Amino acid sequence: MNDPLVILGIAGSLRKESFNRSLLRAAVELAPEGARIETFELDGLPLFNQDEEQNPHPKVAELKQRARSADAILFVTPEYNYSIPGVLKNAIDCASRPYGDSAWNGKPVAIMGATIGTLGTSRAQYHLRQTFVFLNMYPVNQPEVMVSNAQDRFDQEGRLTDETTKKLIQQLLAELVNWTKRLQQSAH
């Protein structure tokens, strides 16, 4: 039997009761057969400083190693001020350097996000897609998983209760797995 595909899941919020962290936990449980989602927590990641890029902090080195060894990436992003939260952009920047040694290069990637607002992190997600151009990441286009009114879709313990959202996550993960296999086959 083939080894399961490893998807590295990163949520762009440090908040203990973060809906996006909860959404990532739901994805871990909904991973399709033949794939496993591992998570990387952004707590403790230092702010990017180009003076340090040749001598990365251990947490940055760990992020780069985990991203590199993963078959695919799953970003789960809140929207802050109509864009990508600083903690997630910082993590992306950290693992993209030094120039020519980006851990994201050529990785298949999927995005989802949750907000207490109504537009489901769409503006943050489209900004994230823009970064994939320079990062040379290969995003899954559809389905777009944009979870609005998140406070109504999780229980008190942060478990996802909304069946529609669960189905969308399953579809997104299935697409990510298919997409990753296609890219891996075409690389051989």
Cis before 58 (ω within 30): no
63 vs 103: CA distance, rounded Å: 8
Q: How far is the CB of 114 from ligand FMN (least distance, A)?
A: 6
Q: For helices 58-69 and 86-95, give the axis angle rounded to 10 degrees.
A: 80
24 vs 116: CA distance, rounded Å: 16
Position closest to ligand FMN via CB: 117
Is residue 125 near ligand FMN by the rule CB under 6 A?
A: no
Alpha helices in 96-162 (DSSP H): 122-135
Which one among 49, 54, 55, 81 touches ligand FMN, defined by CB under 6 A? 81
Name the maximum alpha-carbon separation found in the chain.
Answer: 47
Of 57-65, 75-83, 131-139, 153-161, the segment contacting ligand FMN by CB under 6 A is 75-83
Of 41-49, 80-88, 131-139, 163-171, the segment contacting ligand FMN by CB under 6 A is 80-88
Q: How far is the CB of 22 from ligand FMN (least distance, A)?
A: 8
The CA–CA distances, whole Å, from 115 to 3, 18, 103, 109, 133 equal 34, 10, 28, 20, 25
Binding-site string for ligand FMN from residue 7 to residue 36, where x marks contact by CB under 6 A and - marks none:
------x-x--xxx----------------
Q: How far is the CB of 74 from ligand FMN (least distance, A)?
A: 15
Write the DSSP assignment of 83-99 as a string of letters.
B--HHHHHHHHHHT-ST
Of 47 and 116, the one with the shorter C-beta distance to ligand FMN is 116
Q: How far is the CB of 136 from ligand FMN (least distance, A)?
A: 27
Q: Which residues bind ligand FMN (CB under 6 A)?
A: 13, 15, 18-20, 78-82, 115-117, 119
